[in-house]
Amino acid sequence: MKSGRFLFVMDHLLGHATPELVLAKRLVRRGHEVTVHAPSSLAEQVAAAGCDLVPHESVEPWIQPEGVPFMEVVGEASRHLGSPVLAEEVKRALDERRPDAAVVDVALSAGFAAAEAAKVRTACVLPLLYQPWYFWYGSILQQVNPARARLGLRTLPRQTPEAVLAHVRLILVLSAAVFDFPPSRRLDRRVKYVGRMSDPDPVVWHSPWPADDRRPLVLVTLSSLFRFQRDQVQQVLDVLGELTVRVLVLRGLTIGADTVPLPANAVGERWVPHEAVLPEATIVVTHGGHNTVLAALEHGVPVLVSPLMREQAWNGERAEALGAGLTLESDASRGEIHTALDRLLADPSFSANARQAAEAFASDGGDRAVDELERLRRKRWFR
């Protein structure tokens, strides 16, 4: 097959950018040319995926103010994601690169306006649960009319996901259909559940513990929004310090090594690929990011979810519905944390249900997603 040209449009949030860059890498491995329009903070990850970076020129990444709940600043976030200046930047990149298709992160409504104005085949990438996004909270993030006006497009009477994505030919859901909520109506034919993106490169993790240390391994992954739940995370770590377990704490790219005091049975790392650790893990403790929860269940590992926002709570709810996890409220007491961890460690049904979920999720999401994008680039434009 003749190689194609794709332009990805994404923001700096790693919960979205990480799986999307794995998809970009898989396209490169198939022989395609991939350009990524993203903040310069992703330059290292973009280069590692084998892609060219077109950095944002005049729009700084939006960062949630510390101590302010997301729902109180959602308008500010949506204005950033639908910025007319950002839309013009993306449109310029599309005009210069002339890709066969644009692959736009679901949150970047400015990117959808730019792709429509540039008359480029477009795929929406959704590294989230589709049902709650499309039918509820997706509408609160769509502030695209100022960008559409700047690009000479018609104003949308209602800025809903349905309207914003009207010209999109493909909606790639990087999740498993059985993990999502049951559909409330017939599924749009453009929607393709392809599964989680797994990195095609082998990953190795060298455990800091002796090979004969048989204590269960608890993986604790911290969100980039950790600063909004520091006390809760510290309580979890303090409880884990009292248990006969090993604890690996992944701080992420934004949390300093001294930010979280660790118990004696814990080791902290900036980042380790989940695929490297999960085969050895017994439990994953997480804020509930979609990719983390799905990765844990795909490896048959139950989860303890302490959500920071509603989208994460839904992921925890779905894990609970599968019998493969528990969810803690943000104000859970030390005793409640202890009880939840004891249940996950002692009750084998959680692990059994997680393994059963893994069998249901089994598929090569990356290959399926690339197949769909290759089909997209061969289609005529959307009209």
- How many angstroms separate the Cα of 137 from the Cα of each of 52, 97, 104, 344? 32, 33, 18, 31
pLDDT per residue over 131-149, tens digit each?
A: 888 876 555 555 789 999 9
Q: Is the pLDDT of residue 4 over 60?
A: yes
Question: What's the mean per-residue pLDDT of the chain?
Answer: 87
Q: Is the pLDDT of residue 299 over 70?
A: yes
The phi and psi torsions of 102 (rounded to 5 degrees) equal -100, 140
Q: Residue 370 has which token pair? A: 């690339």
Q: Domains for the chain: give ranges and CATH numbers.
A: 5-198+364-377 (3.40.50.2000), 217-361 (3.40.50.2000)
Q: Residue 4 has which token pair? A: 């194609």
**308 or 22, greater pLDDT:** 22
Distance CA 160, CA 95 (A): 26
Q: Residue 363 has which token pair? A: 């598929």
Distance CA 331, CA 346 (A): 24
pLDDT per residue over 319-334, tens digit each?
A: 999 999 999 987 899 9
Q: Residue 166 has which token pair? A: 């009207």
| CB atoms closer than 10 angstroms to residue 261 | 11
Q: Is the pLDDT of residue 207 over 90?
A: yes
For residue 124, what are the β-bridge partners?
104, 171
Candidate ranges 153-162, 179-188, 346-355, 370-379; pick with highest mean pLDDT: 346-355
Q: For residue 124, what pLDDT band results from cuts at 50, 70 and 90?
A: very high
Q: For residue 383, what pLDDT band results from cuts at 50, 70 and 90?
A: very low
pLDDT per residue over 246-288, tens digit each?
A: 999 987 655 555 667 899 999 998 888 888 999 999 999 998 9
For residue 63, what are the β-bridge partners?
none
CA–CA–CA angle 165, 76, 129 (5° rounding)? 45
- pLDDT value of position 119: 95
pTM for this predicted structure:
0.89
Specify burial of residue 212 (Cβ count, 10 A radius: 0-12, 13-18, 19+). Answer: exposed
What is the longest distance spanned by two Cα atoms in the chain? 66
Average pLDDT of 165-175?
Answer: 94
Helix (H) or strand (E) holding 269: strand 266-269
Distance CA 56, CA 38 (A): 6
Q: Is the pLDDT of residue 49 over 80?
A: yes
Least confident of 8-17, 40-49, 291-300: 8-17
pLDDT per residue over 96-119, tens digit each?
A: 999 999 999 998 889 999 999 999
Q: Is the pLDDT of residue 22 over 90?
A: yes
DSSP symbols for 152-215: TPPPPSS--HHHHTTT-SEEEE-S-TTTSPPPSSPPPTTEEE------SS------SS-TT--S
